[in-house]
Amino acid sequence: MKTKTKKQILAATACGLLAMNISRVSAQGITGGQYLNIVPANASYTGDWNASESSSTSTGFEINAPGGSGSFSTLYYAIPANNVTANNPADTQVVFNFTFNSGTFAGPVNVLFALDDSLGGVDYYGTGYTINGDGSYSKTFALQSANQANVANGAVINGLNLQLDPANVSGNYDITFNSITLQTAAVPEPSTFAFAAFGSAAIWLLRRRK
C-alpha cells in the first residue's frame, strides 16, 4: 500500500510539472494571414534584391540573390490597407520565422526586419550574426518601445522592412521569409497553478512519508 501511494504521488507531481508548460497565446500575422504576403511589384528594393529575384509563395516571401561581396540588401513593403491586421493592444512580442533554403556559409549571417506602425513608430529587430547554415529559424523578440506603446494605443503594423547582410554567404542564397507575427506573452492556464500547487504538496507528502 505504501509503494502504491508513492507512485500515485509521483504521478501527480509529474502531471503538475507537465502542466506548467501549458499556455495561451493570442497571435496575428501582420499581412492578413499566417504567412507573409508580399507582391514583389509593390515592394521597393536596395542592394542585390529586386523583383525578378523574389516571389510570393504558399509559405512566405522568397528571395534568391547573390551573396559574397554583394551589398547589404533591403526591401520595404507598405502593407495595403486590405491586408493590414488589427492587432491586440495587449501584444508584447513579435515572432520572426524564416528559412534558409540554400546557401554556402563562410560565417554567421544577420537577418533583420523593421516594423512601421500607423502611429509613426519604427523599430528594428535582428538575429545578430548568429545564423550559420540552411534550415528553418524562429526568433521571438519583445516589441520595442515605440511599437509596443503604439500598438497598445490601437496602432496597426502598416509597413515592413526586410534586410540581410550577405557578406558571409558564398554565391547565391535562397531565403524564404515565412512569417512575422505579433502575439501576447505566454500566459499560464489557470489549471497550471492548481497542478503546480498540487505537485508541490505531493512532493512535501512524499518527503514526510520517508
> What is the structure's pLDDT at 170?
86
> CB–CB of 100/177 below 8 Å?
no
Q: What is the C-alpha separation between 157 and 193, in angstroms, rounded? A: 34
Average pLDDT, the chain: 82
DSSP 2: H
Q: pLDDT tens, 19-37?
A: 444 445 568 899 988 899 9
> CB–CB of 105/73 below 8 Å?
no
Q: Is beta strand 23-24 parallel, antiparallel or unpaired with respect to 54-57?
A: unpaired
pTM of the predicted protein model: 0.78
Phi, psi torsion values for 85, nearest 5 degrees: -100, 135
Phi, psi torsion values for 19, nearest 5 degrees: -65, -20
pLDDT band at residue 206 using 50, 70 and 90 as cut-offs: very low
Residues 6+ apart with CB under 8 A from 11: none
Q: pLDDT tens, 123-139?
A: 999 999 999 999 999 99
Is 189's pLDDT higher than 70? no
> What is the structure's pLDDT at 30?
93
User: Which is more confident, 91 or 1?
Assistant: 91
Is 178's pLDDT higher than 50? yes
Is 142's pLDDT higher than 60? yes
pLDDT band at residue 195 using 50, 70 and 90 as cut-offs: very low
The 10 Å Cβ neighbour count of residue 41 is 7
Matching residue, cell 497553478: 193
Q: pLDDT tens, 51-107?
A: 999 999 999 999 999 887 767 899 999 999 999 988 899 999 999 999 999 999 999
CA-wise closest residue to 29 among 102, 91, 112: 91
| Residue 1, Cβ density class (10 Å: 0-12 exposed, 13-18 middle, ≥19 buried) | exposed
Instruction: Report residue 19 as a C-alpha cell.
Output: 502542466
Measured at the CA of 96, the angle between CA 94 and CA 98, to 5 degrees, comes to 170
> What is the structure's pLDDT at 19?
44
